[in-house]
Structures are given as structure tokens and as C-alpha cells.
Chain A
């Protein structure tokens, strides 16, 4: 984290209304406030792995056991939101707390774009990262959350470099591609990653004079643009999400430059709206079905989810090794059916939310 990365630690604007305000930006020794250093510190720890969407404690424990570096607690994965429609909001606090209690790895949760009150709740619940996410229904058509105003770090989605830098200017400590969530079709995650990477490369050959125009065209702060021009990379970790469903998808995104992948509907969904049954018998259901407590309710479906989770973790670690990807793909018992992005109407695309 060089002092020249152009990140401002400004947390002075308080229109996000967080009670935490900007008081924790002290201790700066290199132009970055200690609050931002801690946020980037956790993001650094999350590099080189898989973050999995989970909808309950059973799924969270499968994710942790498979080697996920963090879980995203949400009530409906994008594939279900897509199938069911309705307004998608922050998850129920009780569900988030149960997952926090069940696993030792970091727990993330989503807030709607611009919904700083949901973010305040998530900060109060002490989630480890807040995803200001286009997967949920946006709450503000103009403003994203002022993320400097929070102590909890934020991750935000981006389709291109300008969008990534606007989110970083607002205080995001991690960027991920948006892709097209809930589809199991990786094509737009690829598009977004290639777009950002090529825009970053292009900046590195520009003169100082040209960078001012580049900043204007990218609609991003000059300091951040100049920082990318110097280093060729974002000043925060660059992850990928949106349609990653198989070990080879994970390997593809990592080879294209993602430092970690988010896997949403790819692990626990069967098709459309239907999830794999990964439940274990509790006392009541064990008695009812004549099974033992702790036995899987549906062993085949649980095994399938476990195999997918483990295979993606293996692939994300050895993403350049075809032997490992082949073995991981072979170990995978099936994949989500998915939905080709080409057949989705522009208006139904989640990636167009946020600006």
C-alpha cells in the first residue's frame, strides 16, 4: 500500500448519516487513514479464494468446510430473486446472526444500492463486509452509499474502470465485476473484467496531460485515474462475481485477473427457483422419518452441493493448472442449469443497476 495510490481517506461528508461518522480515520502514516488501511487489510486476507452465497446455516457450514474464505449471507440467491421477482432487500438480521454464530470465517451481507440505513443495520450486526449490491432492488436512483462514513468495509460491483473508480472514491475497499448474477452464464463477468483490465492498461501509456482528459471520459476523480496509470491496477483488490458456476469458470476469471471469485447461485441451486436440499435431520424430522439426527435429508443433493463447493475452491487456488481444473470438474456432481444471458431482456439485467 504505497502512499501514492491516490486513495483519499476523506470521511468528512456525513450525508450517509452513519453514527460512526469519520472519527476513525486517525493514525494516518502514509496518506491513508487507519480506517481504510484496516478495510484494505481484510480485503487483502480474502485474496486467492472463493466467497460463497449462503441462505442458511447448513449451507454456510458446507461452504466453510469446503474451504470458502468467506460467506455472503442472503435470503435468496440471485437465481431465486430472478425467478420470483418482487423487491429484494437486506436479509433478515436473525438469519445473518445465526450464520455468524455457525461459522468462524468472515460473514458478508448485502445492502441495497444507496440504502445507507440497511448498511447501518449491517454495520451494527458487525458483518465483516457489506456488499452494496445490484442484486437487490436499488433504493436510490442517484446516490450510492457514502462508504467512508462506515467502519465496516464495502465491496461494490462495476462493469468498467470508471464505475470501479467512482465506487472507490465513495469509499469501497474492494471491487468485483457485476457480471449477470443468478444466470450461471459467465459471459458478462468476462466482459466486465476484460473491460476494466484493458482500460487500466490503456491508462499506463498516457502522459500526465492526457490523464486529465481520461479522467473526464471515465467520469472518475483524477487522483484515482493517475494512480491507476502509475500502477496498472486498482488501488483496492479486484474480485469477480456474476454468473460464475463451475471450476473452469472460476479458473477463467482468475486467469483474467480476478484475485478472488464470488460464487452465488452456482453451488446450492438446482435449476431456476429450486435449491438443492442440503438439510440435516434435526430431532423432530429424524423421529418423523425414522432417520438419525445429523443425517442428510437428501444425501444425493447434499453431496452434490458439497462437491460443487469443494471443486470451485480447488480450482480457484490452482487456477493455471489444467490438471487440477480437470480433476475438480470431474469431482463436480452436476452444475446449476443456468440461464443464457443472451436471452435476457436489457431491462431485466441486474448489472444495469448502479451508475
Chain B
């Protein structure tokens, strides 16, 4: 019996939501671009893309979106990349700013410098299939991970892809690469959560 089609949301307030949507569709998911809090209700999981986290926060101020998104991420699989990871983190540094605070990580914005320091690196990962290509754009650094957090890939010594139960965060941009393993791993997480429910 074929697996049921998953409905994945991509938060589409601003940023690289189209690239995420394209990759999720390629992997067989049904994709909803989420611009309103009410759209979260029918989703099996959500991707919060890269973009500007300050802009996301501004848009989330309206219509109680912030609180609804926070409750959603506490229970439903959510994958944050770059700015999205910043939103999921418990602590945000450089500068300190508000976040959903659902994931036990501390994250430093723009740690690796400005655009000239953006880089494409290939490093080891515990995901099956060998080293992972990681596209870093004005990337943040995960400075601390709590005991419940598993590191799946690193940039040097720093965690770059981390999981805590139903939550996944990447400081790089899997949607800009050709390697679908990050998204595939997230879809597997969503499927697992669905089976349990």
C-alpha cells in the first residue's frame, strides 16, 4: 500500500519559501504556502525557511500568529533553516531577539560574517549516504545544544543540523542544494509522528 501523501506547510511570510516548496514537491509532498495562522490547522508538518528573521517576527506580530505558531511547533514536526532555525531556538544572540523558543539550542546570528563569507561546504553527516553539501548564506552558528538535542551534521566543531524529537534545525540551506536528504529526513520524521498519532 502506498504511503499516504503528506501535507507540508512552508511559512511564506518572506524569503526562500519557493525553493523549499519545490524540493518538498519533488519528494512527493503536498505543499501549502502558509501566510495566515488558520492555514496551520491542516498540516502534517511545517518548514520555516531562510530569509530575514527580523522581518518574520514583524509579520508574526499580527493576528496572534506568533502564539499560534508557537503552539503548533510545540506539538507538530517543524523544520527551521537559517532564519527558521533562529526562530525555533530557545536563545538568540547577536543581537538578542524574540523567538518561538521551542528547541533547546542557543543560536548566534550572522556569526560567520557577511555575504562575502558565505560558503558552500561538504562535511560528514550521520544521515545515510556520505558527506552532505551545505550552502551557508550569512549563516548563524548553533552555540549550544541541550541534552535532548542530537547533532546530525557539523560545520567544523559547531552543530549545523540538529534534531530534538519532532523538531529539526539547520544553519545552512538544504533547499538551495541538490541533496534532498535533509528534507527527506524531515519527511520521515513527519511520517513517524503521523503513525504515532
CA–CA, A83 to B47, complex, Å? 47
The reply on A152 being an interface residue by CB < 8 A is: yes
Q: A residues within 8 Å of B by Cβ?
A: 1, 27, 29-30, 34, 37-38, 41-42, 44-49, 64-70, 100, 104-107, 123, 126-129, 151-153, 313, 317-318
A128 and B114 within 8 A (CB)? yes
Of the A-B pairs whose beta carbons lie under 8 Å apart in the complex, a sample of 28, sorted by A's number, is A29-B178, A38-B120, A38-B137, A42-B115, A42-B118, A42-B137, A44-B19, A44-B50, A45-B15, A45-B51, A45-B52, A47-B14, A47-B17, A48-B12, A48-B14, A67-B54, A67-B58, A69-B52, A69-B55, A105-B52, A105-B54, A105-B55, A106-B52, A106-B114, A126-B113, A126-B117, A151-B116, A317-B59
**Distance (Å) between the CB of B137 and the closest chain A CB?**
5
Lowest 6 A-B CB distances belong to which pairs?
A67-B58, A128-B115, A48-B14, A126-B114, A38-B118, A44-B16
B94 CB contacts on chain A under 8 angstroms: 104
In the complex, the number of residue pairs spanning A and B with C-beta atoms less than 8 Å apart equals: 108
The reply on B7 being an interface residue by CB < 8 A is: no
CA–CA, A107 to B138, complex, Å? 12
The reply on B130 being an interface residue by CB < 8 A is: no
A42 CB contacts on chain B under 8 angstroms: 115, 118, 137-138
A1 and B176 within 8 A (CB)? yes
List residues 54-94 of chain B with CB under 8 A from any CB of chain A: 54-55, 58-59, 82-83, 94
CB-nearest residue of chain B to A100: B114
CB-nearest residue of chain A to B56: A67
A34 CB contacts on chain B under 8 angstroms: 120
**Distance (Å) between the CB of A26 and the closest chain B CB?**
9
From B54, B110, B176, A44 is in contact (CB under 8 Å) with B176
B50 CB contacts on chain A under 8 angstroms: 44-45
**Distance (Å) between the CB of B62 and the closest chain A CB?**
8
B135 CB contacts on chain A under 8 angstroms: 37-38, 41
**Distance (Å) between the CB of A235 and the closest chain B CB?**
14
B110 CB contacts on chain A under 8 angstroms: 104
The reply on B109 being an interface residue by CB < 8 A is: yes
From A1, A27, A68, A129, B55 is in contact (CB under 8 Å) with A68
CA–CA, A322 to B83, complex, Å? 28
Which applies to chain B's interface (DSSP): helix, strand, loop or mixed? Answer: loop
The reply on B104 being an interface residue by CB < 8 A is: no
List residues 110-150 of chain B with CB under 8 A from any CB of chain A: 110, 113-120, 133, 135, 137-138
A153 and B115 within 8 A (CB)? yes
A100 CB contacts on chain B under 8 angstroms: 114
A66 CB contacts on chain B under 8 angstroms: 58
B59 CB contacts on chain A under 8 angstroms: 67, 317
A313 and B55 within 8 A (CB)? yes
The reply on B166 being an interface residue by CB < 8 A is: no
A38 CB contacts on chain B under 8 angstroms: 115, 118-120, 135, 137
B54 CB contacts on chain A under 8 angstroms: 64, 67, 104-105
The reply on B13 being an interface residue by CB < 8 A is: yes
The reply on B30 being an interface residue by CB < 8 A is: no
**Distance (Å) between the CB of B181 and the closest chain A CB?**
15
A126 and B115 within 8 A (CB)? yes
CA–CA, A29 to B114, complex, Å? 24
Most A CB within 10 A of own CB, among B50, B116, B173: B116
CB-nearest residue of chain A to B58: A67
A152 CB contacts on chain B under 8 angstroms: 115-116
Interface string of B2-46 (1 = CB under 8 A from A): 000000000011111111000000000000000100000000000
